[in-house]
A and B are shown apart, each in its own frame.
Chain A
Amino acid sequence: MITVRKPGLSTTVQDGGRAGFYDLGIPPSGALDQYALQAANLLVGNPHGAAVLEIVYMGPELVFTAPAVVAVAGATMVPKVDGEERPMWESFAVGEGETLSFGYLTAGARAYLAVAGGVDVPEVLGSRSTYALGALGGHNGRPLTAGDELRIGDGVNGAGAGRVVPAELRGAYSKDVEVRVMMGLYDHRLSTDGRATFLDTTWKLTPVADRIGFRYSGAELETVEREPPFGAGQDPSNIVDAPYPIGSIQVPGSVEPIVLHRDAVSGGGYMMVATVLSVDLDVVAQSAPGTRTRFVEVDLDGALAARADGKRRVEKLHDALG
């Protein structure tokens, strides 16, 4: 059992996510950085789908009522056991009655704490992930609060302490990032200049950055004139409410693009002009407010190649920790 002494800023139970209910407005949820999720789980010998804690900006304080093997991957916030520092990207033991806490965030935005056996909350619609907007899944459908108690699963022959992700396979987080996108969806609403502005601007991530979406500031995008189609609305950025792909970038009012992430609203009436590649959603996940971001266009073949590269990196992770 883990007792939450302090919850951190917004700590939620997450796993690989749930599929099959997006048509009813229930998004996939799951760890925003899926690579870090897999690294943390592999370090403690958990199966791929095990639930972990996603920690945003500021870590929780957790008291362990039984000994456990844990690992922290993702954003750099140094874990501490009873105040003593432990390494990131490495499994270590926490003893009975000991407290796990975290240092200040120094790189990235989201850290993932895996515990051998996995966080054992009930599965809802095939996943343990928290979808807070719908009060669904995770621990009572919400971020952790002080006093919560989390059960740890058993039946996993967890790996021991001291397992390490090799340096070249660790996430590297910068305040200057490139995020690869495929243009499309409603990008024909942009003028040639508007399109160029979107791809040439160095966007800055605003503080409005959560599991639903990440909002960027930087420039206004020029649209082409039109007679609004029936049902779309008067603003040049309005469309007849349409489904939103995970990773799609909408631009309400033609300013401040929003990248929808894994707790996305499933549809709406703002033009989407591009979609972030699934593998680069991890990059967005590790962006803290202020991160300078360029959206870099790739075509379908480029996107599939990037996806294959991402898979190879995960395979290497498996080979290193398998």
Chain B
Amino acid sequence: MTDVSPARYSWGGDEFVFVELAEEMSLQANFRAMAITKALRDDRPDGVLEICPANASYQVRYDPDVLAPRELQSRLQELEKQVGDAADVTLPTRVVEIPVLYRDPWTTETLMRFRDRHQDPDGTDIEYAARINGYGDVEEFIAAHSGSPWFTSMVGFVAGLPFLFQMVPQDRQIVVPKYLRPRTDTPKQTVGYGGCFSCIYSVRGAGGYQMFGITPAPIYDPTQSMPDFADFMVFFRPADIVKFRPIDRETYDAHLAEVEAGTFRIVQHDVEFALAPFLEDPDGYNAKLLEVLA
């Protein structure tokens, strides 16, 4: 058991309660948010409208005319105690493989348009990220970004956008500041980076994360016309484990043709993830986890 400090509870007006499990990001804080919100979902009190796990916190939207605010808070505090450090919790989830064309022409064209908002106006986003994280060159950086798995610590910002937390010890995590001022444009399916999170932009729009590449895989389909979206329009779920696979332009074009033909599928396998054995031996645990992709 590790010691965890008590969560911080705060009202978000008359319909939200916000709970911060830790001020700093860690897989454990995220795992506790997942475990508590899962327990609440499994035994959902009347009046609970939305249950939103996030990186190191979560929020619940509720109807205070049905469920008294302080009653909800004590229920959440019970769950916090029950989950504890989440060492014993196992989550059923998926390993998902996302092909990425790093340094693609579309994000490169976009990032060049917004150099005046960037820390390094003379380079590209990925050159900057490689340099400040101490990698010899961009190839080494891509090897690191695509070498380890990533944990989907939150889905949101806009519909279906996954926040991805690198599953390596903190001293090996990539950290890159966001743009100095946000862009007004980001191509759909851009693989981005801000702070300690990678992400995949689900729709075209504004954004402040660094842009490293693009995936041909659609991750949000409001018309539900593609096979991966038969059940729901959003692909990602909190706790999904993501592995990026670098691809070349030829493979990208081939995948895109499959997307257009309506046959493209994201490679995915069901797995169980447990926090304690991961924390004990991250590299060994990851290697085993990713065997399903071999």
Q: Which residues of A contact B (CB under 8 A)?
A: 19-26, 124, 131, 133-136, 141, 181-182, 184-185, 229-234, 238, 240-243, 245-248, 265-269, 272, 275-279, 300, 303-304, 306-307, 311
Contacts and interface: CB of A to CB of B under 8 A. Distances in A.
B178 interface: yes
Given A135-B203, A232-B24, A267-B54, A22 B61 contact: yes
Contacts of B197: 231, 241
B150 to A, nearest CB: 14
15 contacts: A21-B234, A24-B155, A25-B159, A181-B13, A230-B26, A231-B196, A240-B24, A242-B56, A245-B18, A265-B156, A266-B158, A267-B52, A269-B194, A304-B69, A306-B14
B16 A245 contact: yes
Report the contact-size class of chain B (Cβ under 8 Å from the partner): 35 or more
Given A240-B24, A243-B54, A304-B64, A267 B156 contact: yes
A25 B15 contact: no
Contact of A25 (B64, B161, B170, B196): B161
A19 to B, nearest CB: 5
A304 B57 CA distance: 24
B12 A185 contact: yes
A281 B64 CA distance: 17
Contacts of B10: 184-185
B59 interface: yes
A246 B54 CA distance: 15
Interface of B: 10-16, 18, 20, 23-26, 49-59, 61, 64-65, 69, 154-161, 163, 170, 177-178, 194-197, 202-203, 205, 220, 222, 233-234, 236-238
A188 to B, nearest CB: 9
A303 B14 contact: yes
Given A133-B205, A240-B23, A300-B69, A275 B157 contact: no
A265 B157 contact: yes
B13 A247 contact: yes
B154 A267 contact: yes
B12 A247 contact: yes
Given A134-B159, A243-B58, A265-B157, 7 more contacts: A22-B156, A182-B13, A231-B55, A240-B56, A265-B158, A267-B156, A269-B195
B98 to A, nearest CB: 17
A85 B276 CA distance: 70
A266 B20 contact: no
B195 A23 contact: no
Given A229-B24, A231-B24, A136 B13 contact: no
A182 B14 CA distance: 8
A266 B16 CA distance: 13
Contacts of B53: 23
Contact of B157 (A267, A272, A306, A311): A267
Nearest to B49: A19
A269 B23 CA distance: 12
Interface centre among B12, B161, B170 (most CB of A within 10 A): B12
B3 to A, nearest CB: 17
Interface centre among A229, A231, A266 (most CB of B within 10 A): A231
Nearest to B64: A304
B6 to A, nearest CB: 15
A20 B159 contact: no
B159 A136 contact: yes
B68 to A, nearest CB: 9
Contact of A134 (B155, B170, B220): B220
Contact of A24 (B11, B160, B177, B222): B160
Contacts of A21: 50, 234
A105 B121 CA distance: 44
A133 B13 CA distance: 25
A241 B195 contact: yes
A22 B52 contact: yes
Nearest to B12: A245
Given A182-B11, A232-B195, A26 B159 contact: yes
A245 B10 CA distance: 11
